[in-house]
Chains A and B, each alone.
Chain A
Amino acid sequence: MSEKKTKRRDFLFTATTAVGAVGAAAVVWPMIDQMNPDASVKALASTEVDVSALTPGNTLTVLWRGKPVFIRRRTQEEIDEARKVKMEDLIHPEKDEDRAKNPEWLVMLGVCTHLGCVPLNDKGDYNGWFCPCHGSHYDTSGRIRKGPAPLNMEVPKYEFVNANTIKIG
């Protein structure tokens, strides 16, 4: 008899605690999620850039989602240099062909994958970019070659709307 009663009580305790926990989570979640990007931030998802004035060997930096995007019109030497690199020499192996569909145009987030600084153009040991914050060197394909950064600079989603316009995002 008493054993049966205890079981009933246990069930009630467990059920009450479980419902209480769900209720508490339902209250806590909005408090946490309010800190995530809001609708107005998400709305600025894409940007269009006119690249007609960009000559080979130069970089255009534009702001997309609050971050700089490098649009580099590469010279033939830079393309050759990037394409002849062996995969086993790379920290984060990625083919240049996959990073720059149109070899002349390299589009990537100008954000160092170490701690988010903006790397400097035409600097470093690999003729690409150099991050002044903690000394990461990137090659002419924006791939990490030396330093603390773990990954290559990220290539965002982009497309050529027409010959002169790139749409990022």
Chain B
Amino acid sequence: MSDHDYRPKSKVGQWFNDRLPLLTLANHLTDYPTPKNLNYWWTFGGILTFCLITQIITGLTLAMHYIAHADMAFESVEHIMRDVNYGWLIRYIHANGASMFFLAVYIHIFRSLFYGSYKAPREIIWIIGIIIYLLMMAAAFMGYVLPWGQMSFWGATVITNLFSAIPLVGEGIVTWLWGGYSVDNPTLTRFFTLHYLIPFLILGLVVLHIWALHVPGNNNPVGIDIKKPSKDTVPFHPYIVIKDGFALLMFMIVFAFFVFYAPNILGHADNYIEANPMVTPAHIVPEWYLLPFYAILRSVPDKLLGVVAMLSAILILAVLPWLDTSKIRSAVFRPLYKQFYWILVADVLILGYVGAMPAEGLYLLIARVATAYYFLHFLVILPVLGFKEKTLPVPLSITEPVLGGSPNLAAARNKESKIE
């Protein structure tokens, strides 16, 4: 940020900004120098902000009609669907909004993986992002419990029981989480409270995420450090604002398709049956966005180790900046990493698929191979690749390849400085 000092034009603005630098902050949404080669994969930050705000607004309005009590929760959701004015719309936006949120966050994460956005000096941005992702999963899980259907109840039972795998204190922790000897009303009321709280924690972390981003500035598809401001940058407004806005519009079309044409396609029919502690549905599956981790959990035949593997699969991402030993950020210049990247994408999709299938026979075998590969990618392939891989030459600036890409670096540098 030091190479981009902002000072308001008006006297009043300067007076205010000297006392509270709010306008400097606002300036990050206007003049802020942004790499000019950002592609559409970079628009998902804005889309995610939209998703968070949507979830908070629809969530607040749903909370005005929802009753967090085991005897009334299921009925109150049906009441929202049938009686409350536009209740069906608000609930469908909220329920599908969670899926859209995860869709966007997965694209956002995989974009970082492809372009090496997690590498120095952006490790803190990345780690904050992983914490946000964990909180999103917690919020989504607890939100899914609130309608108090069969999937709500048994999903809550299975997930809270993960803690019982902890030696010695596990059972005590589960009883403490439940507030009883099974998932029941005390569990529901506390989940509602936490489900209400978490989005605001996420909001706070998003502010930190963006703050941390604005220290080094955006990474870019070429993955090189750029001077700011320079001919490699464009002001955030109007260039990025318009691009983000257009991408958001496209995203909203997909969102609206689910809300209006297939509002239940991502849900599970069993959740329209009220919670019954006596009967477990024949086939329990979590929401689609948790399936890869669910597959990892089930692929390990030991209870404790299964839980450990599942948690490691998520937490391993937090140390990714140190597991990837390559100095080159963007996969564009890493021919081998690029291939392994796509294998990882396929691996996670396969895990997601087998996570939705029964844990037996061929599915179980595939899940085990895919789980092993997932850890192999992060723990072996990435660290080794940094040393073994022959990377392609990286351009000196974003403009360089366009201005001729002369093999003579000195000539290219000379050319650039003339233009500047």
Contact = CB atoms under 8 A, between A and B. Distances in A.
B360 A133 contact: no
Nearest to B279: A118
B67 to A, nearest CB: 19
Nearest to B159: A115
Interface string A135-165: 1000000000001111000000000000000
Interface residues on chain A, size class = 20 to 34
B270 to A, nearest CB: 12
Interface in A103-157: 114-120, 131-135, 147-150
A115 B162 contact: yes
A21 to B, nearest CB: 22
The secondary structure that dominates the B interface is loop
A135 B359 contact: yes
Interface stretch (A22-30, A64-72, A82-90): A64-72
Interface residues of B, number: 37
B303 A66 contact: no
B183 A133 contact: no
B161 A116 contact: yes
Contacts of B177: 35
A132 B158 CA distance: 12
A134 B359 contact: yes
Contact of B158 (A115, A120, A135): A115
A117 B306 contact: no
Given A65-B181, A148-B302, 19 more contacts: A35-B190, A36-B176, A37-B181, A63-B277, A66-B277, A67-B182, A68-B277, A68-B278, A114-B161, A116-B157, A117-B157, A118-B278, A119-B280, A132-B281, A132-B282, A132-B283, A148-B301, A148-B306, A150-B303
Interface of A: 32, 35-38, 41, 61, 63, 65-68, 114-120, 131-135, 147-150
Interface of B: 154, 157-158, 160-162, 164, 175-184, 186, 190, 277-284, 298, 300-304, 306, 358-360
